[in-house]
Chain A
Amino acid sequence: MNRHDTDILIIGAGGAGLFAALHAQQTNPDLKVTIAVKGLLGKCGCTRMVQGGYNVALGHGDSVERHFMDTIEGGKWLPDQDMAWKLCETAVTRIRELENEVGCFFDRNPDGSLHQKAFAGQTFDRTVHKGDLTGIEIINRLMEQVLSRPVVRLEEHRAIALIPAKGGEGLAGVLFIDMRTGDFRFVRAKSVLMASGGGPTMYRYHTPSGDKTMDGLAMALRAGLPLRDMEMVQFHPTGLLGGEGTRMTGTVLEEGLRGAGGQLLDGNGRRFMFDYDERGERATRDIVSRAIYDEMRKGNTSPNGGVYISMSHLGPDHVREKFKGMVRRCDDCGFDLAGGRVEVVPTAHYFMGGIVCDADTRTEIPGLYVAGEDAGGAHGSNRLGGNGVANSTVYGGVAGDVMGVEAVGTLRDADEAVLSAEIERARLPFTLPKGDIHGLRKQLMEVMWRDVGVMRTAEGLARGRAALAELRDELMRTGLPSQNTVFNLTWHDWLNLRSLIEVSEVITEAALARENSRGAHFREDFPDAGDLESSTFTVARQDGSGLRVTNDPVIFSIVKPGETVLKDVEAAE
């Protein structure tokens, strides 16, 4: 095993991880900063995949208060209000930093001012963007800044365990597999940021990048940390459906297609959205997702088991011009979006749940911080489009500021017994008889889609719970076909599956514990939202006796249901 020491260790190189590195160095240039990432720096992960944009209140009638109220309403009163406030407030500085210091260039109005577009669920046009490829601009510019600074890069390093200090006081560091060599590497650090990104890829249809497998939350759970809002999985209504054998399946066809007049048709070509909502295809993401799911359950499906999106009535040339990127992407993969019909399906998109932390990114374990999709609280039960990348960049920067001050003192020695046990745990699949790992992954995605998906019932969730327990047992009997450890993707597929099953069990338990329907969580047996004043959020924690889920009261630290922080004039608008 290799060993490496650093002052600050950052797990993940998306918007949160890269911002943390920049801010930590700005706060204290003497600190040694190390970034470890499962893929390549800035290239894997989901910040890069942001299409929509970046929500920020920049005046002209908009305000931080208004952005905050939209975030609270969108999250159905479940967000941690201090986190939501800090998100909206700090986004204003962060967007200036992105433009002026990092070098991003966002779309302008003809007069040269920033263009801000409308995005669903918001009362003001506040989404800053770069066409429909905002994420690429943000991550490329951040990547350049980090690459040009003295930051140690551990690329294609998979984090596998948080290692406590000897004697149990705080965190000593993190254990990795250097995927290229297959060797283990233990990195000690005074401060560690968990910014590995969430990504609900345990569903049959999902949007996040392929490296995303909930490793961060699985590690946190095993370290005894509390996870909140774990039942909250956001589905995007229109994922591309190309059949089981293609990685294209599940990837997002943008929201704007429905906004521009795109129609959803069932397998017989019948338009069905008006059966569900008077706004038709323009209803919100959750409503459209549930409607499609319902049509699929009724069997009104297209050949691959979804429905169709049809744009051609708007004129193929017009569609080709207005949605150039989407039309080209579909065409590259053999679909005619402009003139034909494309099969679509709801697809798991974003994970609102995550590690419990304070508004300064601190977790329960001294020395461990969390930012981005691994952190829970800012979005409550639903994330507004445009609040995702704002969240990761705001809180990544906050984490860097805080760690830059708090990464002091001496490195802690590891609990060597835990370290050895974790290495054995990761090597386990080499000791088991070879089996069908990919078949198990398919079964997992099937179970989660069917029983813990877009619409849930107590009966279905109980069935899902039992199926997950069986899958977990089956994985423990399923090993690898070879003993090779060098850049062995199949080994990592096994480890991915283990993380996904562990987090899927938490999603299922949290979904059973919430007996009402809020935001992304819909219980057919409890369709009402429940009383807002007595709102609770789920907290899941693993201890010696297994997984426990509690319902904790939401603290309305800034605003109570029925009230607003908007000034009278604003509220009246």
Chain B
Amino acid sequence: MASTETIDVEIWQGDANGGAYRAYAVPAQRSQTILDVVTWVQQNAEPDLTYRFACRVGMCGSCAMTVNGKPRWTCRTHVSKAGDGPLRIAPLRNLPVIKDLVCDMTEFFDKWVGAGGVFKPSTTRDDPIPAIDPSTVERAAASEAIECINCAICYSACDAVAQNDGYFGPAALNRSWSLINDIRDAGRTERLSAAAGTGGCFNCHSQQGCASHCPNLLNPTLSIAGLKRAAVKAKVRGEI
């Protein structure tokens, strides 16, 4: 049974040179996410509207957008959870717009690599898989930070990134912290050097934008605090 109720929604459209919001009335449904609203608009009202999504279930982190001023994963945000009043949907902050709701994530991933977010092996495929007690302090810290889907919501929420585009941002440093605690990793020194460098952890002012918006409930602020301690210690000891 088709509903006669509608949702008022404004969607930003444009490109790197600027753009504007356009308004639509979208039929309301009981099961309806922000991604479904955007999809309805593309399929029924604005065939040139561009957005990005893949998995539909919060695993790929492709569909993040700014919804009523907050960065969110749109496939897992029911319209009722986006706040009262009309919906206002825009691309993520802190990343260049390609078109409409799609951002260029190149710098996000370049910084992921630049911050040392890449595992450096200490053994090979010819060696046995090491026995690692999952309850050790290090492994618990590594595991606590690991379930990141690289959606860039934290990066978009971060005021430090907004003020300094050389800053690696929370996702990359959160990954670095996970690796610092990974006893299999052989890249500790270079990782700590990157963390202590100009784009590194000391740019963070613990404003918690990342932790309060992470859809997977991770706490990058805590990870960055850990990195700060580790970097200071390494400096004092002359390791970096």
Contacts and interface: CB of A to CB of B under 8 A. Distances in A.
B15 to A, nearest CB: 8
Interface in A481-519: 481-482, 484, 486-490
A105 B36 contact: no
B54 A211 contact: yes
A97 interface: yes
A489 B129 contact: no
A11 B57 CA distance: 24
B113 A148 contact: yes
A43 interface: yes
Contacts of B61: 43
Given A140-B150, A484-B48, A247 B78 contact: no
Interface string A465-481: 00000000000000011
Nearest to B40: A245
A39 B31 contact: no
A248 B182 contact: no
A551 interface: no
Interface string B8-33: 00000000000000000001011111
Contacts of A137: 146
Given A40-B62, A140-B148, A209-B55, A334 B132 contact: no
Interface residues of B, number: 73
Contacts of A247: 33, 35-36, 39, 53, 56, 75
Contact of B36 (A135, A246, A484): A246
Interface stretch (A44-52, A282-290, A310-318): A44-52
A425 interface: no
B131 A113 contact: yes
Interface string A393-432: 0000000000000000000000000000000000000000
Interface in B56-72: 56-62
Contacts of B57: 49, 248, 251-252, 329
B112 interface: yes
Contacts of B149: 136, 140
A108 B33 CA distance: 36
Interface stretch (B114-122, B162-170, B193-201, B206-214): B114-122
A50 B113 CA distance: 24
Nearest to B36: A246
B128 interface: yes
B4 interface: no
The interface residues of chain A, by DSSP majority, are classed as loop
Interface string A83-115: 000000000011111011111010110111110
A188 to B, nearest CB: 25
Contacts of B105: 40
Contact of A147 (B76, B112, B184): B112
A43 B60 contact: yes
Given A147-B113, A486-B99, A332 B121 contact: no
A112 B47 contact: no
A486 B52 CA distance: 14
A246 B129 contact: no
A93 B128 CA distance: 10
Interface in B129-150: 129-135, 142-143, 146-150
Interface string B77-97: 110110000000000000000
Interface in B145-203: 146-150, 175, 179, 182, 184-185
Interface of A: 39-41, 43-45, 48-49, 93-97, 99-103, 105, 107-108, 110-114, 133, 135-137, 140-141, 143-145, 147-148, 180, 209-211, 242-243, 245-249, 251-252, 329, 332-335, 438, 480-482, 484, 486-490
21 contacts: A39-B52, A97-B124, A100-B125, A101-B121, A101-B124, A103-B118, A105-B132, A108-B133, A111-B131, A111-B133, A112-B131, A140-B148, A144-B119, A145-B119, A243-B29, A329-B58, A332-B58, A334-B78, A481-B47, A482-B47, A487-B102
Interface of B: 27, 29-33, 35-36, 39-40, 42-44, 47-62, 75-78, 80-81, 98-100, 102, 105, 109, 112-113, 117-119, 121-135, 142-143, 146-150, 175, 179, 182, 184-185
